[in-house]
């Protein structure tokens, strides 16, 4: 299996550049438009795509991403259809894909089977929002997750000992939250990002990307100065919500300045 995530971060490091990670809900507003958005983001220069697996009870998400998941579900998206979406994208693009999901859809599909089938479809990593690594180790049903790199989430409120545990068990990259709360662009990133990133990097060489609340080029540049990558989600998803007839064009116009700011252009 190609290690697209490691290759991407290594290439960026040698260029002195930071990663731009773009989140969208898989299948929002429908399958074909979602595929077009993925291709547009990749062609625009997004280094990693984060695909949200549509779920009916997304507790960690703000209203923008909740509505995106609902639109995707209403359009007929299922877990197998998300894997088909990835397969279709892989016909033309090699941009790494990370699945952003809750445990329930993965467990329902079959934990081991999901990891195998998602990797075979072309996914590279997975961020399971509500499955702590120490809990997973206690459940044999959740022990076999080969094929996908397991990305960890670290918040500003995570205790130091837990930061150490999460950092050392993370693969691909670490998703550091710029602030507490649910997803969304309603709160600006914290000014303490550099301190948070430094505290994580004490324990790992895995790249640290920062997300939550980033919606302007200025915010993207600020985060890029302190972290290995910038994650933008709700602000992109909002463009899909506002322009459901032609979401790819709206996403392109909105995201291009954010990518340029992240890259220092």
Active site amino acids: 50, 61
140 Cβ neighbours under 8 A, 6+ residues apart: none
Which of 264, 263, 238 has its CA nearest to residue 251? 238
CA diameter of the chain: 48
| 150 phi-psi bin (left φ>0, alpha ψ -120 to 50, beta other) | beta
Helix (H, G, I), strand (E, B) or coil at 208: strand
Task: Pull the structure tokens for residue 173.
Answer: 């990259």
Structural element, H or E, at residue 126 = strand 125-128
Task: Check residue 190 and report its DSSP letter.
Answer: P
- For 176, the token pair is 């550091």
Residue of 97, 187, 112 lying closest to 146 (CA atoms): 112
Report the alpha-carbon distance of residue 114 to residue 98 in Å, rounded.
Answer: 13
Residues 6+ apart with CB under 8 A from 112: 144, 145, 146
- For 243-263, b/e burial (b = at least 16 CB within 10 A) is beeebbebbbebbeebbbbbb
The pair of three-digit structure tokens given for residue 34, joined into one six-digit string: 């979602």
């Amino acid at each position: 299996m190609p290690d697209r995530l490691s290759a991407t971060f290594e290439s960026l490091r040698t260029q002195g550049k930071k990663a731009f990670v773009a989140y969208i809900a898989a299948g929002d507003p429908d399958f074909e438009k979602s595929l077009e958005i993925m291709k547009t983001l990749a062609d625009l220069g997004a280094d990693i795509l984060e695909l949200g697996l549509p779920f009916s009870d997304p507790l960690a998400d703000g209203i923008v991403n909740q509505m995106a998941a609902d639109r995707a579900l209403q359009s007929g998206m299922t877990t197998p259809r998300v894997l088909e979406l990835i397969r279709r994208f892989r016909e033309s693009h090699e941009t790494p894909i990370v699945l952003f999901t809750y445990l329930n859809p993965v467990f329902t599909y079959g934990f081991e089977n999901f990891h195998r089938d998602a990797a075979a479809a072309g996914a590279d990593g997975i961020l399971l929002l509500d499955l702590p690594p120490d809990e997973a180790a206690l459940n044999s049903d959740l022990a076999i997750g080969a094929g996908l790199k397991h990305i960890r989430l670290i918040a500003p409120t995570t205790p130091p000992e837990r930061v150490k545990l999460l950092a050392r068990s993370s693969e691909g990259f670490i998703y550091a939250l710029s602030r507490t709360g649910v997803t969304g662009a309603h709160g600006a990133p914290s000014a303490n990002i550099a301190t948070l990133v430094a505290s994580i990097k004490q324990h790992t060489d895995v790249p640290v990307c920062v997300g939550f609340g980033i919606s302007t080029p200025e915010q993207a540049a600020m985060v890029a100065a302190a972290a290995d990558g910038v994650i933008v989600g709700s602000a992109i998803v909002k463009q899909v919500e506002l322009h459901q007839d032609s979401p790819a064009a709206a996403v392109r116009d909105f995201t291009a300045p954010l990518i340029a700011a992240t890259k220092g252009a």
